[in-house]
Amino acid sequence: MTLNLRPASRKAWGFDDRKARSTTDRVDDDPKMPDALEVAAALDAHFARTGQLIGPLHGVVLSIKDLLDTYDMRTTGGGDADYANDRPPRDATLVKRLRDAGAIILAKANLGEYASGSRSAFGGTMCNPYDTARDVGGSSGGSASSVAANLVTCTISEEGGPSIRMPSRFNNGVGLSQSQGLVSRDGMIGGGGLNDRNGAACRTVEDVARILDVIAGYDPADDLTVYSVGRIPKDGYTQFARERSLQGIRIGVVREFMDKKLFTAADHQSIDIVDRAISDLRKLGATIVDPGEGGALFQGCIDQHVPRNLNALFIRQFPALFPDGVDHVSALAAFYADPSRVPKKLTIRDFGIDRCHTRHGQPVLAAGDQKVAEVARADDHHHDDVRPRLLETRVTEQRELEHQPHHRDHQHRDLPGAQVELVAHWQRLALDQVQHHRRRVHHRGKQRRRAEQREQRGLRMREDRQDQFGENDIQERGLQRGVELR
């Protein structure tokens, strides 16, 4: 999107002004801002003169996602906006580290505008070099595709979700979204919260490790990087990229996302490639946990734990199994104790969707959730404490059922002793959470009453002083006291 070339070189290579290093400095002749060709020439001269490399990335050509600051090139975030000066005052911390290690920054890579999607107002739509009809992946698609097209050796991507990994996957590369706090986020558009992170994307794992060796480490400008102190390998990350055996490594095959009947023909090639890779991993010594074609790696775990951990979702999925007036807790405990009774409907593919059904575009809540919604609307002070009130509502309903003679006689009639204990345990947990919620509400109420009392005492004191001295006298005394203090 932006080439690190001075105007004469850029035009000689046939690139228009849209690719200029700056739109606010058309002359672009500052000797303190060498372009990529000048940096490369300086690196060659240094090596010819000394026989030494500048650093571990001497001569390695990179692109930088256009969210990160580069002092010699504009930073736009993909937005087509007018600037008085479109050049940042300095490099982002990791960009400076790359330059100090001898890297050549060739370009700023296009991105989804302000890190969203696969196109930008300034750079336009990105293309996948392997097939221009296919998605390049967002939002670091320009970074990943610049590597795939052999325009650069490596790139720096950024993500708040999968924006390092997904574009690398779509463009047949390697992208690493390392642990948060390992690489500085200083000098970038965004860079807040706990999700944003910067990482390398290259063609090989070893190349990614070499970049990480350079950019990882503490940065005073990013407090979160304090977590990297003492946690970086003494001999760097590259040593771990040279393993030739996977002995002792267990790798699971998530067949839930490899069923060709569920995907388009465009995905079939990718599924076949993964299938072949499984054999390669097995030859390298890895233990492959594969449920087989049509199998489901996580289904047993889901069948057992969803009735307990996502019980509201589970009940809505199977309303016929949980009619009104029936003890839902006992039924859920029975499913947990015997997962084979769970209908094979909810799979790992279903996670990530809304946890409530919709009708005409509006969410439809279960009966208990509707009661909680009414409670939340009636209590603006504690609208975020929905879950405890939901538990309290259901515990109250449970107690009402228990007071019905028929229910007392038959609620645990068909359950083994262990399941009866499990039901009782869940009920105790629910009551504990309700009591904890009540204590929180009581504590907040006390705090609010104390604040109101302090405010009332302050008003009474001020009224007493006004009665004694008068408002003007109070102000004059305050001014005199201020003069004395100065």
pLDDT of residue 408: 39
Return the SS3 of 63.
Answer: strand
Question: Computed over its alpha carbons, how large is the radius of gyration of the chain?
Answer: 31
The amino acid at 480: Q
pLDDT of residue 390: 42
Cβ atoms 398, 326 nearer than 8 A: no
> Could you confirm whether 139 is annotated as catalytic?
yes
Among 22, 118, 139, 330, the one annotated catalytic: 139
The amino acid at 160: G
Among 65, 96, 108, 371, the one annotated catalytic: 65
Mean pLDDT by 10 residues, the chain (486 residues): 96 95 96 98 98 98 97 94 93 98 98 91 93 91 97 96 93 94 93 84 98 97 94 94 92 94 87 94 96 90 83 83 84 85 78 42 35 37 40 46 43 47 60 64 72 76 62 57 57
> Could you confirm whether 179 is annotated as catalytic?
no
The per-residue DSSP string of 129-184 comes to TT-TTS---SSSHHHHHHHHTTS-SEEEEEESSSTTHHHHHHTT-EE--PPTTSB-
Other CB atoms closer than 10 Å to residue 306's CB: what's the count? 21
3-state SS, 258-320, equals CCHHHCCHHHHHHHHHHHHHHHHHHHCCCEEECCCCCCCCCHHHHHHHHHHHCHHHHHHHCHH
d(CA 467, CA 347): 74
The fold for domain 2-242 equals: Amidase signature (AS) enzymes (3.90.1300)
> Could you confirm whether 345 is annotated as catalytic?
no
Question: Both tokens of residue 236?
Answer: 């760097």
Among 140, 163, 177, 228, the one annotated catalytic: 163
d(CA 90, CA 70): 6
